[in-house]
Structure 1
Amino acid sequence: MRLFSVLRAPAVGWRERFDCGGREVARWFPGHMAKGLKDMKNRLRVVDCLLEVHDARIPLSGRNPLLQQALGIRPHLLVLNKMDLADLTHKSRILECLRQQGLSHVLFTDCLQDENIDKIVPLITELVSNSQRYQRAENIESCIMVIGVPNVGKSSVINSLRRLHLQKGKASSVGGQPGITRAVLTRIQVCDRPLMFLLDTPGVLSPQIESVEIGLKLALCGAIRDHLVGEEVIADYLLYTLNRQQQFSYVERYRLASPCDDVETVLKSIALHLGKTRRVKVLTGTGNVTVTAPNYNGAAVDLIHSFRKGLLGKVMLD
């Protein structure tokens, strides 16, 4: 009963803001991203519609404005994927904010359960039929370009569509790290009635992320490689977010005494609970001594991966 009371207690004394500590925004725009964006522009002449996939936990943050500037002349459907990991109690507010940004065609999806995947083809078909097809009016098939930042599930959406409409397996590789798709691929059929093909593309971040906090949100959702930001920094931002939203399941998962807002204390407790230790040399007055210390980085990695697997509760980062 004591633990239950602690976990349901109102969040008092949590940080009101995350101290970025003068950090600079991590820049991750490797060569394959620049090449991918150029290839995407070159393929536009055969594209009827853009299918932008983004993470439902950050529906307002981190979308790449370069993609809109370069490719925005086509009809556009925004798919907010990984809805199973997002707190959708704020869904109406998010949709209104997106509508004010000019995005009237928005769909929340979950590729693990194929939820709302069946709505994608009808929506795209309607968008294409109501638009100028840019000298493609004689073609009976539609070609859709899938765009977005890394690791939001673009390839998963393609595979879900193929599974639903063609009863076929994976056509695009998927993974938990950003950068799995590194080039604009050949056309992938996802439906036969209507005849529809998709172009999978590499995830492309903006060369200049808008703010440090947006960079942290992207990193927490796996759009930026962890080591570029720092696992312990990402874990600290995650702890800040969970406590602010009163998501205290991390306490039960790691057998902590109570919620805590100090990342060093939490990571030490997690490391001890998981048995994650490392041998370090300590310089003393009589020479070096090797001691066993908690592996804070290992604990941070476990905490971050637990969040990404949906084991720490549903959140909305925006």
Structure 2
Amino acid sequence: MRLASRALCGAAGAAWRDSFPLGGRDVARWFPGHMAKGLRKMQSSLKLVDCIIEVHDARIPLSGRNPLFQETLGLKPHVLVLNKMDLADLKEQQVIPMVRGLVESSYRYHRGESLEYCAMVIGIPNVGKSSLINALRRQHLRRGKATRVGGEPGITRAVMSRIQVCERPLMFLLDTPGVLAPRIASVEMGLKLALCGTVLDHLVGEETLADYLLYTLNRHQLFG
């Protein structure tokens, strides 16, 4: 009830807070390390792939990228996919043609004689990696989902086997667990990540998340 009252007051034109109280919050407690095991498994699988597809949440263009991906997986051609955009049209997806073009114009190491393409799908938790794989399967193969999806982080626990998403060209994708940066720069960045489902709500606190969301919406006068 208290949170609802704050929202109504903001919409009615009352004075909004100029800042959100961040003191006393420990962002390190919210995030379970940097998930080094998953990143090591990705590195060991690099020899099996031709390209990296990094899925990124379009709502958090600065907070949501893990710099370790470029540092540790940057040897391969890299495609950045902005996900969760309301105006995105699945019929116009260019992911597979883009991957094919990148791979054909780059050196394929020891995979040069292989007629198939394989890409690794990476990203922080809950940005829609598995959903993208399933969508590409539906679009190009007319088949159902091959990977589990959900609204909470941590659905994919390990680097999985290859999943076919296209017949011509023959293309496979590797789903991977979400990996966070080893250090979250600030509490406010942590709140933005948490609002987008990167961590479970109860680790941050449902009331804290709701309060920060209302503060942000009021600050930008987004009352819809």
Which position in structure 2 is the counterpart of 1:277?
Answer: none
Which position in structure 1 is the counterpart of 2:4?
Answer: none
1:12-67 superposed Cα distances (whole Å, 9 cap, x missing partner): 73223322123121442369x32211110000011111100111100121211122
1:265-298 superposed Cα distances (whole Å, 9 cap, x missing partner): xxxxxxxxxxxxxxxxxxxxxxxxxxxxxxxxxx
**Residue 220 of structure 1: which of 195, 200, 222 is its match?**
195
Give yes or no for contact 1:147–1:201 (8 Å, CA) kept in 2: yes
Which position in structure 1 is the counterpart of 2:15?
Answer: 13
Alignment of 1:1-318 (within 5 A): 13-26=15-28, 27-29=30-32, 33-84=35-86, 110=88, 114=90, 116=92, 118-249=93-224
CA distance in 1, matches of 2:81, 2:100: 15
Structure 1 residues 69 and 49: alpha-carbon distance in aligned structure 2, compared to 1, 3 A threshold: same
CA distance in 1, matches of 2:65, 2:136: 23
1:130 offset after TM fit, Å?
Answer: 1.5
Kindly indicate whether structure 1 or structure 2 has the higher relative contact order, using CA contacts under 8 Å at least 6 residues apart.
2
RMSD after superposition: 2.0
Identity %: 64
Which position in structure 1 is the counterpart of 2:6?
Answer: none
Q: TM-score, normalised by structure 2?
A: 0.89
1:99-120 superposed Cα distances (whole Å, 9 cap, x missing partner): xxxxxxxxxx84xx6254x311
Give yes or no for contact 1:62–1:215 (8 Å, CA) kept in 2: no
SS at match of 1:235: helix
- Structure 2 unpaired stretches of 5+: 1-8
Give yes or no for contact 1:39–1:184 (8 Å, CA) kept in 2: yes
Which position in structure 2 is the counterpart of 1:269?
Answer: none
Give yes or no for contact 2:123–2:178 (8 Å, CA) kept in 1: yes
1:128 offset after TM fit, Å?
Answer: 1.1
- Structure 1 unpaired stretches of 5+: 1-5, 85-108, 250-318
Give yes or no for contact 1:29–1:207 (8 Å, CA) kept in 2: no
User: Matched residue pairs, number?
Assistant: 215
Q: TM-score, normalised by structure 1?
A: 0.64
- Please tell me the residue identity of whatever aligns with 2:171: M
- Please tell me the residue identity of whatever aligns with 1:120: V
SS at match of 2:21: coil
- Please tell me the residue identity of whatever aligns with 1:239: L
Q: Could you list the structure 1 runs, at least 4 aligned residues long, displaced by more than 6 angstroms after superposition.
A: 6-9
